[in-house]
């Protein structure tokens, strides 16, 4: 039995194998994209965002892949269910979000935009900005 924490270590291997043409690995990646699409749609419905053209932020290690087929499948599935959704892949490390949330809490609302910009700029050397990967 594989420890759940170790499963995440397999993702890059499966993506690389799928990219090399392995049919079984591609099927796993397609299933992952479909499951993540279903989750994003369910969350948007629960939050009543389906008709509001929401920004869907893809955050986490699995979204760091450059596998175009994975991102295409994910974006197409979300786009069919949530027309106008803007898909954004967050490449910032989790600490950036934590820092921004901390600043907001300290400010008792939204932190000063200049301070937020300085925090974000501090992570630019790590290519830590969100970028749009597809738009429906």
Residue 96 structural domain = 4-135
What is the total count of domains within the chain?
A: 1
Percent residues over pLDDT 70 in the chain: 90
Beta bridge partners of 136: none
Looking at the predicted structure, is the pLDDT value of residue 131 above 70? no
**Cβ-proximal residues to 56 (8 Å cutoff; 6+ apart), any chain:** 40, 44, 78, 82, 85, 86, 87, 88
Using DSSP's 3-state secondary structure scheme, residue 86 falls into: strand
User: What's the pLDDT score for residue 134?
Assistant: 52
pTM score above 0.75: no
Lowest mean pLDDT segment, chosen from 31-40, 46-55, 113-122: 113-122
Q: What is the mean pLDDT of the chain?
A: 85
């Amino acid at each position: 039995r594989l420890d759940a924490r170790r499963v995440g270590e397999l993702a890059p291997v499966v993506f690389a194998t799928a990219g090399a043409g392995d049919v079984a690995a591609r099927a796993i990646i397609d299933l992952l994209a479909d499951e993540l699409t279903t989750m994003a749609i369910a969350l948007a419905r629960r939050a009543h965002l389906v008709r509001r053209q929401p920004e869907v932020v893809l955050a986490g290690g699995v979204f760091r892949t450059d596998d175009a087929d994975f991102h295409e499948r994910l974006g197409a599935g979300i786009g069919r269910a949530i027309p106008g959704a803007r898909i954004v892949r967050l490449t910032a490390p989790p600490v950036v979000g934590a820092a921004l949330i901390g600043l907001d809490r300290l400010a008792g609302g939204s932190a000063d935009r200049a301070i937020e910009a300085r925090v974000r700029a501090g992570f630019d050397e790590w290519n830590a900005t969100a970028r749009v990967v597809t738009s429906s």
